[in-house]
Amino acid sequence: MPDTATLLLGQTLRFDGDPFAMPIEQAARHDRQGGVMIRAGHVVEIGDGAALRAANPQAIVHDYGDCLISAGFVDAHAHYPQTGIIASWGKQLIDWLNTYTFPEETRFADQDVADAVAKTYFDLCLANGTTSTCSFCTIHPESVNAYFFEAAARGMRVAGGKTCMDRNAPDGLRDTPQSAYDDSKALLGSWHAKGRLRYAITPRFSPTSTPEQLAAMGALWAQHPDCLMQTHLSEQLPEIDWMHSLFPDAVDYLDTYERFGLIGKGALFGHAIHLKDREKARILESGSALVHCPTSNTFIGSGLFDMAGLKAAGHTVGLATDVGGGSSFSMLRTMAAAYEIAQLRGTALHPAQLYWLATQGSAMAMDAGHQIGNLGVGMEADIVVLDLASTPVIAQRAARASGFWESLFPTIMMGDDRATRAVWVNGREMQ
């Protein structure tokens, strides 16, 4: 029944621009008693709730009272196969990969394992109000099929791809330049641009790919430039030393991607903490995006992302959980960690900036900012409805707030899946 209209009533939050680039009052619009009209999977009107109700008497109404209605959260960097090893103790990046991650990813040769974990993963995302993801899979095509199948079953706009690795990984978890190319090409043929799905060409990171494999990935992206390309960049100092030992003539980490055509619009570089000036300049010039993964960066001990500096320079930056190096599925917990990391670097991010990063910022990093990540007429109706008093401590703090941002900030800092009152995906109520 595509013509059935649905009206969501509550507080609404949307963005007219980037709150890092203009005053908050111009960038963000909050309606105390707002309404969002949905029809055929899209937002068709936003405005005053009572006026929309009077003008649309036939609409099915969901009145969420004081809850906050916004775009659903967008997680721009995750590893769905690591769901089962989230919160594994005591290691930094390279040891963590070898001890926990690689053995777990080996299991995804089994289609049943991949199917079960993909189901759990998307259920957890939706429980946390995350309506879009950009995820690494494993080297196994089975893992990619499971990921896209489960996303499509839920109607979600997601991106992802086969993680390619042809060295420095255990038996059972290595492909070759040719098989990585062939498998990725076949998988993108099956899934890319089918409904709301987008393929991301995915070399894991240069330490686990030979130059030949990176060249094959660059060639594939050149043939399919409407795909995304995702990888890791400059996450930890020992990783950067390792990269230099493997690519002795590289001027810096980005060079190991750039020389093979793996930068540009549609490229997402996860972490990007320890960047050199040349790397920052080339990332900006090339239109590549950076993805900040704050719970992962503290959990694995990687370092402090320079949000203020990179945004001031004009970089495209998204926000992400990096599950399971990240320690939470919640983009609220992720915003809180981003706030804390920025504080350690001397900047207090405004709640509007944090919320924008978790929605429109991540959507733009995924080159989907015109489709998701904001409430606007014509945008796809991916929506989260948040209870801003979801626990006793949050409720008592929000009750003392003198304005909207002060009432939202306790949920950003202390909220989790208990704050999720409802989730809509493509105009359908999911939660």
Which residues of this protein are in contact with Zn ion, per CB under 5 A?
270, 322
Q: Please choose, from the candidates 161, 189, 155, 191, the residue with its C-alpha nearest in 3D space to the C-alpha of residue 80.
A: 161
Cβ-based nearer residue to Zn ion, 81 or 270: 270
Pick what 205 binds: ligand GUN, Zn ion, none; C-beta below 5 to 8 Å, kind-dependent: ligand GUN
The CB density around residue 372, as the number of other CB atoms within 10 Å, is 25
Shortest approach of ligand GUN to residue 7 CB, angstroms? 41
Q: How far is the CB of 102 from ligand GUN (least distance, A)?
A: 9
CB of 94 to Zn ion, least distance (A): 13
Q: Three-state SS for 173?
A: coil
Smallest gap, in angstroms, from Cβ of residue 418 to ligand GUN? 26
- Can you state the percent helix, strand and coil of the chain, rounding each to 5? 45, 25, 35
227/300 with CB nearer ligand GUN? 300
Nearer to ligand GUN, 159 or 372 (CB): 159
DSSP string over 356-407: HIIIIIHHHHTT-TTTSSS--TTSB--EEEE-TT-SHHHHHHHHT-SSHHHH
**Smallest gap from residue 38 Cβ to ligand GUN (A):** 36
Task: Choose among Zn ion, ligand GUN, none what residue 235 binds, the Cβ cut-off being 5 to 8 Å by kind.
Answer: ligand GUN
From Zn ion, ligand GUN, none, interface partner of 380 (C-beta below 5 to 8 A by class): none
Residue number, 92 or 347, with CB nearest to ligand GUN: 92
Of 131 and 296, nearer to ligand GUN (C-beta) is 296
Helix, strand, or coil here: 76? Answer: strand
Partner from Zn ion, ligand GUN, none binding residue 196, C-beta < 5-8 Å depending on class = none
Shortest Å, Cβ 276 to ligand GUN: 19
How far, in Å, CA of 343 to CA of 14, rounded?
25
| Residue 338 interacts with which of ligand GUN, Zn ion, none, CB < 5 to 8 Å by class | none
Closest distance to ligand GUN from the beta carbon of 171 (Å):
18
The answer to whether the CB of 77 falls within 8 A of the CB of 233 is no
CB of 138 to ligand GUN, least distance (A): 10
Considering beta carbons, is residue 93 or 187 the nearer one to ligand GUN? 93
> Is the CB of residue 124 less than 8 Å from the CB of residue 329?
yes
Cα atoms found within 13 Å of the Cα of residue 211, Cβ hemisphere only: 10
Q: Can you list the pairs that 173-178 forms with residues at least 24 positions away whose Cβ atoms lie under 8 Å?
A: 173/102, 173/105, 173/106, 173/138, 173/139, 174/139, 175/139, 175/213, 176/213, 177/210, 177/212, 177/213, 177/215, 177/216, 178/216
Nearest Cα residue to 199 out of 209, 207, 191: 191
Select from Zn ion, ligand GUN, none the partner in contact with residue 204, using the beta carbon and a kind-dependent cut-off of 5 to 8 Å: ligand GUN
| CB closer to ligand GUN out of 28 and 214 | 214
- Tokens linked to 312: 């001031």
With CB atoms as reference, the residue minimizing the distance to ligand GUN is 325
Is the Cβ–Cβ distance between 151 and 430 less than 8 Å?
no
Rounded Cα–Cα distance for residues 133 and 271 (Å): 16
* CB 165, min distance to ligand GUN, A: 9
CB closer to Zn ion out of 44 and 240: 240
Exposure string of 170-199, with b = 16+ CB inside 10 Å and e = fewer, is eeebbbbbebbbebbbebbeebbeeebbbb
Partner from Zn ion, ligand GUN, none contacting 296, C-beta within 5 to 8 A by type = ligand GUN
Please identify the residue of the shown chain whose CB is closest to the bound Zn ion.
270
In the complex with Zn ion, which residue's Cβ is closer, 235 or 306? 235
Answer with the entry of Zn ion, ligand GUN, none that 141 interacts with (C-beta below 5 to 8 A by kind). none
Q: Which residues here bind ligand GUN, judged by CB under 6 A?
A: 79, 93, 97, 101, 204-205, 232, 235, 296, 300, 322, 325
Query: Which of Zn ion, ligand GUN, none is residue 101 near (CB under 5 to 8 Å by kind)?
Result: ligand GUN
